[in-house]
Amino acid sequence: MNLFDVYPLWDIEPVRGLDTTLWDKNGEVYTDLYGGHAVISVGHCHPHYVKMLSEQLDKLGFYSNAVQNSIQKDLAARLGKVSGYDDYALFLCNSGAEANENALKVASFHTGKAKVLAFRKAFHGRTSGAVAATDNPKIQAPFNSTENIVFVQLNDLAAVDAELSKGDFAAVIIEGIQGVAGIYEPTDKFMHGLRSLCDKYGCVLILDEIQSGYGRTGKFFAHQHSGVLADIITTAKGMGNGFPIGGVLISPTIKPSYGMLGTTFGGNHLACTAALAVLDIIENEHLVENAAKIGEYFHSAFADNKAIKEYRGKGLMIGLELKDEYVGLRNRLLFEKHFFTGAAGAQVIRLLPSLTVSQETAESFVNAWNSLI
């Protein structure tokens, strides 16, 4: 059997990793400023992460959600504390799309309404509701098409008001910072306005922090830069540092009932252990602070860079929009200088490194960049 051919692949096969370094099968060394798409939050193969997972695997890898699981409860308590959403409840699942899918369902159950407002260029995942709320017709099958999702422009509060005032919306879903779109931020003013409009019209405000969360922007969740509170927050990617796990943080105003949500694998022992190890490392190594610090370094180092049209983002969620003559730089960074980066289309290079990235590594990237332009 062959693999279902949906990914264009680089001809590179990493076989070993340590922090932000990767080795391929030929022994070539690479620096990873992409983190496998913002997933590697605490570095590849962090010794504490490896130890905790190995020890848990020796005890119990999995049991279903039919029994007590104190690792889940520890995770909920720790996540509540570190995120500032102490009084919220946690539902655990396996991926970002699944977290959003469940968030949309919870909002719809809670309000008894079906419609959802989303934003142009948004990406929320590939399951049925999540992909319908994703502004990319190319990845929506006819099966996913629904009149229940309405898109408006990011930061256009009047457009939000015009839609929500119709009174039939269950939720608004918004990324903390739009990632796949190429790193676009909602303004603080917009976030405050959005919160007020959701309150006014009885809508659930869902913050998709799957890419922008877990400390990446210098706060635990990106929307916390604006000071606004969400009703539901979704997380995944950095939460397990590569172990599949997603989470839905749900306001105490939204009441659960037995059977409302469910999953076979979600919240299993290994996944929760991975997430606890990640939180240990984030706290012990002050990684949220490091994300802010290295983010500031990148921002100042790339100010007025001749290849860059616009620098976007916060902390370690960075979009570098290239001037036309420098399109192609990403491949040169990879093949000539051995730096992995992300992209949004041909024009935007995305940096989504592990929050452990050092000043030295950041400087070596800037030097490599400057040597190519």
Ligand X SMILES: Cc1ncc(COP(=O)(O)O)c(C=O)c1O
Q: Which of 104, 180, 274, 308 binds ligand X (CB under 6 A)?
A: 180
Q: Which of 35, 43, 129, 179 binds ligand X (CB under 6 A)?
A: 179
Q: Which of 17, 36, 43, 96 binds ligand X (CB under 6 A)?
A: 96
Q: In this chain, which stretch among 12-20, 43-51, 172-180, 316-324 interacts with ligand X, using CB under 6 A? A: 172-180
User: What do you get for the CA distance between the two ends of the chain, in Å?
Assistant: 44
Q: In this chain, which stretch among 7-15, 117-125, 161-169, 190-198 interacts with ligand X, using CB under 6 A? A: 117-125
124 contributes a contact to ligand X by CB under 6 A: yes
What lies within 8 Å, CB to CB, of 227 at 6+ separation is: 188, 192
Number of residues that bind ligand X (CB under 6 A): 14
Q: How many CB atoms lie within 10 A of CB 13?
A: 9
Between 17 and 179, name the residue whose CB sits nearer to ligand X. 179
Query: For residues 55 and 238, what is the distance between their CA atoms, to the nearest angstrom?
Result: 21
CB of 125 to ligand X, least distance (A): 3
Residues 373 and 336: beta-carbon distance below 8 Å: no
239 contributes a contact to ligand X by CB under 6 A: no
175 contributes a contact to ligand X by CB under 6 A: yes
- Per DSSP bridges, beta strands 89-93 and 115-119 are unpaired
214 contributes a contact to ligand X by CB under 6 A: no
- Per DSSP bridges, beta strands 29-32 and 89-93 are unpaired
208 contributes a contact to ligand X by CB under 6 A: yes
131 contributes a contact to ligand X by CB under 6 A: no
129 contributes a contact to ligand X by CB under 6 A: no
313 contributes a contact to ligand X by CB under 6 A: no
Q: Which of 123, 184, 201, 214 binds ligand X (CB under 6 A)?
A: 123
281 contributes a contact to ligand X by CB under 6 A: no
Site for ligand X in 22-41 (CB under 6 A): none
Between 135 and 161, name the residue whose CB sits nearer to ligand X. 135
90 residue type, one letter: L
CB of 212 to ligand X, least distance (A): 7
Q: Give the bridge partners for 24, in sequence order.
A: 14
Element (H or E) spanning 161, and its range? helix 157-164
The residue with its CB nearest to ligand X is 96
* DSSP string computed for 278-347: HHHHHHHTTHHHHHHHHHHHHHHHTTT-TTEEEEEEETTEEEEEEPGGGTTHHHHHHHTT-EE-EEETTT
Element (H or E) spanning 100, and its range? helix 96-111
Query: For residues 328 and 351, what is the distance between their CA atoms, to the nearest angstrom?
Result: 15
| Residues forming the site for ligand X (CB under 6 A) | 95-97, 100, 123-125, 175, 179-180, 208, 210-211, 236
